[in-house]
Structure 1
Amino acid sequence: MTRKPFYGDLDTSIRTLLLAQIRNLWTHTSTAIEGNSLTLGDTAFILEEGLTVAGKPLRDHQEVIGHAKAIEIIYALMAKDQIQDKDLFALHRAVLTDAVVDIFKPAGAWKNEPNFTTYISEDGRQRYREFPAPRSIPILMGQWLRMLNAALQGDLTDSEAVQVYADLHLILVTIHPFFDGNGRVARLIANVPVLQAGFPPIVVPTEARQGYKRMISDYQATIPDLSELKDLNTLPDNAERQHFREMCQSYWEPTQTLLRQAQTMQQHLVAGRVSG
Structure 2
Amino acid sequence: MYITVKQAAEKWMVSDRRVRILCSEGKVLGAYREGRAWKIPHDAIKPPDGRYKTKESLIPIIEDKLEVLRKRRPLTAGELERLHEEFLTEYTYNSNAIEGNTLTLRETDMVLRGLTIEQKSLKEHLEVIGHKEAFEYIRQLVRENVQISEKLIKDIHYLVLADKKEDRGVYRRVPVRIMGAAHEPVQPYLIIPKMEELLEQYTNSTEDIVTKLARFHIEFESIHPFIDGNGRTGRLLVNLELMKAGYPPIDIKFTDRLKYYEAFDAYHVKHNLSAMADMFAGYLNQRLDLYLSMLDE
Any stretches of 5+ residues in structure 1 without a counterpart?
Answer: 122-128, 223-237, 268-276
Structure 2 residue aligned with 1:248: 280
User: Equivalences for 1:217-232 in 2 at 5 Å?
Assistant: 217-221=265-269
Matching residue of 1:119: 180
Matched, 1:185 2:243: no
Task: Please state how far the C-alpha of 1:165 moved relative to its aligned partner.
Answer: 2.1
Aligned residues: 228
Deviation digits for residues 196-254 of structure 1 (CA, Å, limit 9, x no counterpart): 111111221111012211221343345xxxxxxxxxxxxxxx3x212221122223355
C-alpha separation in 1, matches of 2:104 and 2:132:
15
Q: Which residue of 1 aligns with 2:57?
A: none
Distance across 2 between alignment mates of 1:120 and 1:169: 15
Residue 110 of structure 1 and its aligned partner are, at CA, apart by 1.3
The answer to whether structure 1 residue 12 and structure 2 residue 66 are counterparts is: no
Residue 64 in structure 1 maps to residue 128 in structure 2: yes
Shift of the alpha carbon at 1:262?
Answer: 4.0
Q: How far apart in 1 are the matches of 2:99 and 2:191?
A: 23
Counterparts of 1:45 and 1:17, CA distance in 2: 16
In the alignment, the residues of structure 2 paired with residue 68 and residue 148 of structure 1 have an alpha-carbon distance, to the nearest angstrom, of 26
Of structures 1 and 2, the one with the larger relative CO (CA 8 A, separation 6+) is: 1
1:52 to 116, 120, 135: 116
Q: Distance in 2 between matches of 1:183 and 1:107?
A: 14
Q: How far 1:257 sits from its partner (Å)?
A: 5.1
Secondary structure of the residue aligned to 1:9 is coil
Letter in 1 for 2:122: L
* Counterpart amino acid of residue 180 in structure 2: Y
Q: Does 1:21 find its partner at 2:69?
A: no
> Given the superposition, is the C-alpha separation of residues 86 and 120 from structure 1 closer, same or farther in structure 2, using an over 3 Å criterion?
closer
Contact 2:145–2:244 at 8 Å: present in 1 too? no
How far is 1:10 from its partner? 1.2
Counterpart of 1:161, as a letter, is: I
- Which letter does structure 2 place at the counterpart of 1:64? V
Residue in 1 that maps onto 2:243: 195
How well do the aligned residues superpose, as a CA RMSD in angstroms? 2.6
* Corresponding residue for residue 190 of structure 2: 136
Q: 1:164·1:193 contact (CA, 8 Å) conserved in 2?
A: no
Q: TM-score, normalised by structure 2?
A: 0.69
Distance in 2 of aligned mates of 1:8 and 1:136: 48
Separation in 2, partners of 1:120, 1:85: 25
Supply the AA of the counterpart residue of 1:114.
Answer: P
| Deviation at residue 85 of structure 1 after TM alignment | 1.2
SS of match in other structure, 1:190: helix
From 161, 164, 170, the counterpart of 2:212: 164
Are the aligned partners of 1:200 and 1:256 in contact in 2 as well (CA < 8 Å)? yes
Q: CA deviation at 1:21?
A: 1.1
Instruction: Give 1:185's aligned amino acid.
Output: T
For 1:85 and 1:54, the matched residues in 2 are separated by: 38
3-state DSSP class of the match of 1:117? coil
In structure 2, distance between residues paired with 1:71 and 1:9: 22
Change (3 A) 1:75 1:146: farther
Distance 2:100 2:283 in 1: 19
